Structure 1
Amino acid sequence: MTTTERRMPATISDERTALEGWLDFHRATLAQKVAGLDEEQLREASVPPSTLTLMGLVRHMAEVERSWFRRCLAREDAPPIYYSDEDLDRDINVTAADSWEEAYATWQAEIAAARDAARGRSLDDLGFAAHRKKEFDLRWIYLHMIEEYARHNGHADLIRERIDGATGA
């Protein structure tokens, strides 16, 4: 796993730069929360009966990146990576067969695909989220992704503190 440098977004910028800066900041925050842990630690559940793990959060964020940028914005036929109609929480619920290496690589690939999907588009460009039966502009997608990462980074912070006492960042 490579270490992601986390940069504080510019305090004065245009709207697009601010949105992309904050999204990248939160992506890097999650990468820092999982850095330096071994496979067993990344699989450690937060607090029973919850099955939430750091690996599960990373897999979930790969699904979220894919859903909003590829399926909604780019209108790609990109099926779910982990979950299915039979197991909607399969991204969160990791099994012995799942690996951290695969989860991290998939998350990074979905981030790259998200950047490609957004590149050159206006913030006013519309995507369609079939699961919500609504259109969303790119601006809304960026804001939603920032919120999604911020919420889950709070979860990651608590899980990481429980694993090895590390806090902050």
Structure 2
Amino acid sequence: MSNDRRGPATDADERTMLEGWLDYHRQTLAHKCEGLTDAQLRTASVPPSMLSLMGLVRHMAEVERSWFRRILVAEDAGPIYYTDADPDGEFRLTEADTWAEAYATWQAEIDSARKNAAGYALDDVSAGRHRQTDDVFTLRWIVTHMIEEYARHNGHADLLRERLDGATGE
């Protein structure tokens, strides 16, 4: 695995720092998937868990979509991989699911997230509301939550990658 990720500047302003950490964690997940086959990326951790690296990437595409499209700008953007009947659909993989598709979808959601966030100041409140709690959120809260979400799942990705080929490290 190559490692050309860069952490955020140590002397950046708050927004640059937050966006830098979010991008760093996005890059970390991609780094953990680098150089693996589709079959390896679809490999679940330990039965009965469906957790896999490709599933994590698909999940993060859904999370980016939810926070930066549905909640931040109130866009009517439906789910990509899951349904009401299958709420864990992003983790339910078949041989037909490919890294190329999962990665492209995830990157498209990241691009959309960046564009939507650019229109907001950190203290601006979301145009949309959380579907379960009806809460609104500042952009600062959303970005901080996304850093936490990626950091948690990157811990899972560390273990998944080590199980697949023994690769460890940041």
Question: What TM-score bracket applies, with the shorter chain setting the length?
Answer: over 0.9
* Inter-partner Cα distance in structure 2 for 1:5 and 1:109: 21
Distance 1:94 1:122 in 2: 38
Question: For residues 93-125 of structure 1, what are the alpha-carbon distances to aligned partners after superposition, in whole Å with 9 as ceiling and x for unaligned?
Answer: 112232211101000000000000001311111
- Aligned-residue Cα RMSD (Å) equals 1.3
Alpha-carbon deviations, 1:1-21, whole Å to 9, x = none? Answer: xx8841111112211011000
Task: Give the structure-1-normalised TM-score.
Answer: 0.95
Q: Runs in 1 of length 4+ with deviation above 4 angstroms? A: none
Identical aligned residues as a percent: 66
Instruction: Give the residue type in structure 1 aligned to 2:161.
Output: R
Structure 2, unmatched stretches of 5+, are: none
TM-score (norm. length: structure 2): 0.95
1:140 is aligned to 141
Instruction: Give the number of the structure whose residues are more often strand, by fraction.
Output: 1
| Paired letter, 1:67 | S
Alpha carbons 1:4, 1:31 under 8 Å: kept: no
Q: Tell me what 2:124 maps to.
A: 125
Letter in 2 for 1:91: E
| 1:34 counterpart letter in structure 2 | C
Q: Say whether 1:75 aligns with 2:71.
A: no
Q: Which residue of 1 aligns with 2:10?
A: 11
* Deviation per residue, 1:49-83 (Å, 9 max, x gap): 11101000000000000000010001100000010
CA–CA distance in 2 between the matches of 1:4 and 1:141? 27
